[in-house]
Amino acid sequence: MTFEYCPKCGEKLFPKQIGDEGDVPFCEKCSRPFFPFSYPCVICLCIAENDEILLIKQSYGIIRYVCVAGYIKSGESAEECAKREIAEETGLELLGTRFLYSKYYEKHDNLMLAFAVRVRKGELKLSGELSEAAWFTPDEAYEALFDGAYGRDMINEIRRLEKEGLLGI
């Protein structure tokens, strides 16, 4: 997202040299720059204490198994967002987070922050946005996800980290 108008006061922004950043859209009225950014989201590979993986199906769009994901709200950390999204969508309690990697998703101008998340396997209380949620072994989860799914990348990454003893959750 690159701003043309000030999101605070609505004035037209003009480029201004900001240190090493080069020209940045600037509001003269508010006297501040508005740096271009991509919307930050978290995507969580939810893993129970017994290493089973939770996949969900949303009740809109293309119906297929995916991982819990959501937009980070203003004022929220990525970890707080993961905790909130998991509680809202599944009712599960988060026990620990492990940042895996970030990836830019051009279609929606998102910066995806991928986390492996340990959750307590309890009663599922699905949000109205979900049609289904189910537990899988890691191999089953990999198969249940579509080719090119973030979840598959994330399973590959946790396998690599586990092999090195570096998963840490």
Which residues in this chain contact Zn ion in the complex, by CB under 5 A? 6, 8-9, 11, 27, 29-30
Residue 13 vs 45, nearer CB to Zn ion: 13
Q: Please state the closest distance from residue 35 (CB atom) to Zn ion, in A.
A: 14
Whole-angstrom distance, CA of residue 163 vs CA of residue 16: 49
Q: Please state the closest distance from residue 4 (CB atom) to Zn ion, in A.
A: 12
Q: Which of 72, 74, 53 is nearest to 143 (CA)?
A: 53
Q: Please state the closest distance from residue 8 (CB atom) to Zn ion, in A.
A: 4
Residue 30 vs 78, nearer CB to Zn ion: 30
Q: Please state the closest distance from residue 14 (CB atom) to Zn ion, in A.
A: 11
Residue 34 vs 65, nearer CB to Zn ion: 34
Non-local (6+) Cβ contacts of 45 within 8 A are 53, 67, 100, 114, 115, 116, 117, 151, 154, 155, 158
3-state SS class at 96: strand
Residue 28 vs 129, nearer CB to Zn ion: 28
Query: Which residue is closest to Zn ion by CB?
Result: 6
**Tokens representing 121?**
């396997």
Q: Please state the closest distance from residue 25 (CB atom) to Zn ion, in A.
A: 10
Residue 6 vs 141, nearer CB to Zn ion: 6
